[in-house]
Chain A
């Protein structure tokens, strides 16, 4: 594909596979072998099941506030799959699929949402930054990682995510502007899931597309069907290749839909119609990919059931392991603020430990 062929001002959406799983642009279909295709499908199922389980644990009072990704699996998994292990992934907070692809252990993900900082402690070889809650602030880190790559003459890239609402933040514009000026190897993926909590996309900006904002910053921008895993991968791969060649940043607007609530504290029936949700359910990224895999004879019902069973077990046992763990150690609350703990913190820690010797909080 050619990014340049998709002028974001024309509101043209890049798509390889339609909602029935039919291939519209065979010439752009990524050359995946069956193992890769089934890996992608399995990861989509893992992400979806994880979300469903978390929501159910939350309703049972066993999990805290949770932000589900249901409906956005293709955007997350297809884009992260275009990275190599040495590349950096800079998430916002709704990128479960991308985390899974780039090597974050399931246990970390549970730990984080279970309220434990150790969830953000990545294994040494996993180049994923902790979840970033302040909207759009993480984009600048991806620009900085890219700038450091340029200075260090390293051949890796940084991929970062933001939502449609995040494009209204100043940090979004500053990050893209810096990336353009310094030509950093950064790929910005907007997960346009149509809502920033309750505020629809049309109320965020008067721009026709979000991708067109790329033009102002001197980089290519493209709108893609975020529920088509092939289009997501293909566009991201092209952006990654450009970045690796030293040609600078790219902005990708992936059009998708948040089928679930913003978080478990949100009630989407207050701001959107059921009919709209039903319409997007037909465009579910997993359904169409499954259809494609079945049509190609790659996915069998037997494999599907076996994998679903595996995933169910993996998730249940990981969660039960986390659930059985005790609360945060007191020392851990203090220990990681500075390389060496200042006397002030030591004093507060010791005073509190003395208090605890007298019994419970």
Chain B
């Protein structure tokens, strides 16, 4: 597996491609004929109203949910959907930062950095010293937390919303994600914190990776995305390049879409 991934990393056009993906929850048709390809170094904004299927789409893409039918390609290679899981997505360098669901609230930061991918000996015992060292390094260098009394032993509970997003994004970058999926990272953040998060998003692209960015706030996503994919009732209805449409026009367009039933 490891060899495969290394070889596949060298040359590919799309980090992820969904082909005719469908998802049903009982009678509900949550995703309809989804065809979506993400290039290796672009920021794709995913927009649409509540219940449009944004969350279902990224959960399917990252191995949390199994599609009812369709195909998923990672680095142009088809994935066996029976085996596809969060763990496998991690191995394939796909990381997700969920709004409020990425960090264990009561756990210290160092555990949060490594849970699911602990540095252990062969018996499964964690090398706490090493994990804390690396966590400290991520905190200080990659994320740029300085002072403020936050250490690797701090609990997530003590962090602000923006800091949490920073930790989760920093973790994803540390694990060399080629694709980082962000689920509404700026919800409930103060203006200053939003700026920080948007800077994190830009840094993902600067470092040569790809990003799928789900956002309610159109101004935020319009600012950083290379293209915007619009979802409505489980379907992709259009693709927009930010330079072709102002935020105001985009807002109008989405409202109009909602009224069209």
A binds B: no
Residues of A within 8 A of B (CB): none
